[in-house]
Amino acid sequence: MAARLAFAGLLVAGGCGVVDRRADAREEQAERAFPPIGSFVEVAGRRVHYIQAGSGPDLVLLHGASANLREFTFRFIDMVKDRYRVTAFDRPGLGYTDVKSTFADAWENQGEPPQSQAALLSEAAEKIGVSNPIVLGHSYGGAVALAWGIEHDPAALVVVSGASQPWEGELGPFYSVNGSRVGGTVAVPLISAFVTPAMVKSRVADVFRPQDAPNGYLDYIGTPLVLRRVSFRANIRQVNTLRPQVVAMSKYYPDITIPVEIVHGTADDIVPLDVHAEPLARQLPNARLTRLEGIGHMPHQVARGEVVAAIDRAAERAGLR
């Protein structure tokens, strides 16, 4: 693998102008097609992109890996904005929220950890008037929600298909190579420049399996945004460095005494229920686990009613309804 990357590096060095120009053009096209749809708040010199809708108790939504806040503006927010003031954030480096400068260099190989992301977004939430929120996190966003629960005193948590525990084995070469220093410099520009729509469609299908993505999802969600070089590196590094971070965080799960609703599909093979949700339910003193039979990794898109019901339970248990 190292030899292949070195050879690829020579190719990139020889044709870097072509690669960079193509990547530049595709990034510009992505941002024209999927511009910011919300507002910005500045925190510690970084712009944080968010959208807010509705009225009632505050509900914060945190998306997973390879995504942005459009993950929730696609049909989901409309189901809860009649009784919650809903705030969805782009997580750092994704969508239009700035990545921390120390993690932005092409040669860097560390991702911005959940604790740092929770600190940034909780401060952003406070700045825009969010108070005592229910915090919902999907997938990687579940780890950020748990970090928020450990350090920033929300009213309740809803963890949907959340990554919360260390796992056995490796994530595979897609993450290990692209998350490395050499991969971030060599492979990422090539992917940004040349990945095809068919490859993206296949990856989205894998994430939804065994269900299908809803009609219109792929056209709406803005997947080209994560293929921008800065976003791609941020996303890959966050996932690639998550395991030791959840190991450290898990020591503090018993200290989360607020109500926690855990929603997880039994057919989720990306973040398996038995590896993540079931141990988490045992570690948290005030948790309720809802198993969704036959559902994969995307309950908020394919089983929205069950996720909304979990939000309502969290609100009632926290005395917000």
The whole-angstrom separation of Cα 206 and Cα 212 is 9
The whole-angstrom separation of Cα 241 and Cα 295 is 27
Q: What is the pTM of this model?
A: 0.93
Q: List the pLDDT tens digit at each of the 321 positions of the chain.
A: 443 444 444 444 445 688 889 999 999 999 999 999 999 999 999 999 999 999 999 999 999 999 999 999 999 999 999 999 999 999 999 999 999 888 777 767 788 999 999 999 999 999 999 999 999 999 999 999 999 999 999 999 999 999 999 998 777 777 777 777 777 788 888 888 999 999 999 999 999 999 999 999 999 999 999 999 999 999 999 999 999 999 999 999 999 999 999 999 999 999 999 999 999 999 999 999 999 999 999 999 999 999 999 999 999 999 998
Cross-strand bridge partners of residue 137 = 62, 159
Q: Where are the domains of the chain?
A: 2-317
What DSSP element (H or E) covers 287? Answer: strand 287-292
* φ/ψ of residue 182, rounded to 5: -70, -45
CATH 3.40.109.10 fits 2-317, yes or no: no
Residues 22-36 as b or e (16 or more Cβ within 10 Å = b)? bbeebbeebeeebeb
* φ/ψ of residue 213, rounded to 5: -65, 140
